[in-house]
Every structure is written in structure tokens, then in C-alpha cells.
Amino acid sequence: MAGYSPISSLGYFIFGVSDLAKWEDFAVNILGTQVGIRNSDSLGLRIDDYEQRFLLVEDGSDDLQALGWEFDTEPQLEAYVEKLRGRGVEVTAADEVTTSLRRVDKLYSCLDPDGWRHEFYYSPSVVALSKRFSSPVVANGFVANELGAGHLVVIAKDGVKTNNFYQQTLEFTVSDYIKGEIAPGGPVLDATFYHVASGRHHSIAVAEAPIPQNIDHMMLQVNDLNDVGLALDRCMAAEVPIRMGMGHHPNDQMTSFYMQTPSGFACEFGWGGVIVDDDNWEVVRYSELSDWGHKMMMSPPM
């Protein structure tokens, strides 16, 4: 059952980083992603048979550069771009170099009220059968393919503006809401969670919190709970800082922990996220970020 959003999935993340070599070591040996296409100042990472799900660009920013939203067909992409322009959004067609760096066939982009770039594309490149994804450390692989790359939680400067833009202009569908303390006695996080047609519980969530950074965390999901435990063991052995210990979220039902990436923002590593069927879904408001666990191991950024 296709969902209500015209967008199929969140297909890729682009992050600006300050230390590409450190990120490569982290991505391969801790996360278990595979290296894809490498350029002098960028690195593509794979988690499935797409040629690229993450693009890391060495620009010193340690921040979000862009999110790539996938459409199933060219007419669906073109119709969406027309709708955005009709709503007064400035949508730019990408040049050939940018399109090829994303490993897609056709690409447009626009900025949201926070200045974050959203890219819209169709026809991603997939690898040859002989190069199918396999990771020496994540034996049972990642949950990606039609559900997309994962999710991202961003901190908006003005939550009302950003949420209006995501709902009314970009046509993301609300999954649910959580308003609760990040840790007991800590700052309150007020978050709205969004899915698109393929139904991963959320592809993006917008939080308002008294913290300075743009990205709270990105999330990678694996097929086997044991691969979450093994990732935690790898973090501890390599002394990768753990932001929050193992725990369970009430809304997407994800069992996960949070580690710190070389860029400072967190990566949630999880298993068991639910898939939304828009015809049988009730939007609710939760008052706790976690049912159990997710114990804060480091002070939240202030």
C-alpha cells in the first residue's frame, strides 16, 4: 500500500566533514558501511546495493549539506517540482557534475526555512550483481532498499515555520509527536516525526531544543538485533564515545543506542523500527522519548 506523500523515500544523506580519513575508518570499522566512490575531497558510502547512500564532503563544516528525496518515476518527480514552484518555492535544476556526484539521473533542489538543502531525484545507480553489498562486521546487513537510507533528526531555529514547510509545502506526512526531557532534569525536546510513501516510521524529525547544533542524530537500522549489540561492542573496544546506552523508543519501536560520529553529531544504531501504513495509522503524542534505557552517557550539548 503506497503512502500519501508523493516522495518515495529518503534516499541519501550528504554531510560536510572536517576529517575524511577519520570518518572512513569510523564508517567502515564501526558502522560497517562499505566504501563506494572516492574522489579527492569526498567519499561515498554504501549500506545496500545502491552505489551511494552517504556522501561525505571534506569542507570543514561537520554539518548537514543536503538530504536526497527519491521519486519512483520521472513524471512523479516533475509533477512534484511543478507543485513546489506553484507554491512559490525556488527550485533549481542541478548541473551534470552535481547530478553525477549524487549517482542519480535527474536532480532538483530547494532550501527550507532553516537553509537546509533538500534534493529531489529519480533513478539512482545500483551496483553490478558481482558487487552486491556485504559488510565484514554487519553480517545480516542494513534495513535500506525501498525504505531508504535511514533517518535524520534536525534542530530547527523556528519549529513552527519548519514544520509548516515540511507539511504544507514538501508534503511529508506526520507520524507522531514526542515532547519530553532529553534526560531526567535535562532540556525538553519537542519533536515532530515525518514519514514519506515507503513508510519507514520517520525519515526526518524536526525537534526544537535549546541546543546549538543543526543535527541531533542520523540513524542506521540493521536487520538483526545482534548486529546492534556487536556495534556497541565495537564502539567500546575502539573507545568511540557512547551518547546514550541501549534503549527503546515508544513511537518507532526502535531498540538502539547512540554513538558519537567524528563530526560531533550522534548516530543512532538500531533494530526493529515499524513501518507506517497510512490507511491504518493513528497519530499520537508521546510524553517520553524512551520506554526504557537510552541512558545519557555524556552531557547533552548545551
Which of 255, 268, 271, 289 is in the footprint of Fe ion by CB under 5 A? 268
Least separation, in Å, of the C-beta of 200 and Fe ion?
11
Please say which residue, 107 or 289, places its beta carbon nearer to Fe ion.
289
Least separation, in Å, of the C-beta of 125 and Fe ion?
27
Least separation, in Å, of the C-beta of 151 and Fe ion?
6
Please work out, in degrees rounded to the nearest 5, the angle formed at the alpha carbon of residue 269 by the alpha carbons of 265 and 273.
120
239 C-beta neighbours (distance < 10 Å), count: 7
Least separation, in Å, of the C-beta of 161 and Fe ion?
22
Please say which residue, 124 or 273, places its beta carbon nearer to Fe ion.
273
Please say which residue, 103 or 249, places its beta carbon nearer to Fe ion.
249
Residue 73 is which amino acid?
Answer: T
**Binders of Fe ion in range 204-223 (CB under 5 A):** 219
Start-to-end Cα distance in the chain: 42
Q: Where are the alpha helices (DSSP H) in the chain?
A: 20-25, 74-86, 96-101, 159-164, 225-238
Per DSSP, the three-state class of 121 is strand
Please say which residue, 62 or 216, places its beta carbon nearer to Fe ion.
216
Nearest Cα to 46, choosing from 128, 154, 153, 152? 128
Distance of CA 68 to the CA centre of its chain: 10
Please say which residue, 77 or 204, places its beta carbon nearer to Fe ion.
204
Least separation, in Å, of the C-beta of 266 and Fe ion?
9
Q: Is 62 in the site for Fe ion (CB under 5 A)?
A: no
Q: What is the size of the binding site for Fe ion (CB under 5 A)?
A: 2
Residue 59 host element (H or E): none
Please say which residue, 215 or 219, places its beta carbon nearer to Fe ion.
219
Least separation, in Å, of the C-beta of 192 and Fe ion?
13
Please say which residue, 234 or 249, places its beta carbon nearer to Fe ion.
249
Structure-block grid coordinates of residue 4: 500519501
Torsion over CA: 139, 143, 144, 149 (sign)? negative
Least separation, in Å, of the C-beta of 258 and Fe ion?
8
Nearest Cα to 260, choosing from 279, 275, 280, 238? 238
Contact predicate 70/167, CB 8 Å: no
The stretch near Fe ion (CB under 5 A) out of 129-137, 166-174, 178-186, 261-269 is 261-269
Residues lying near Fe ion in the complex (CB under 5 A) are found at: 219, 268
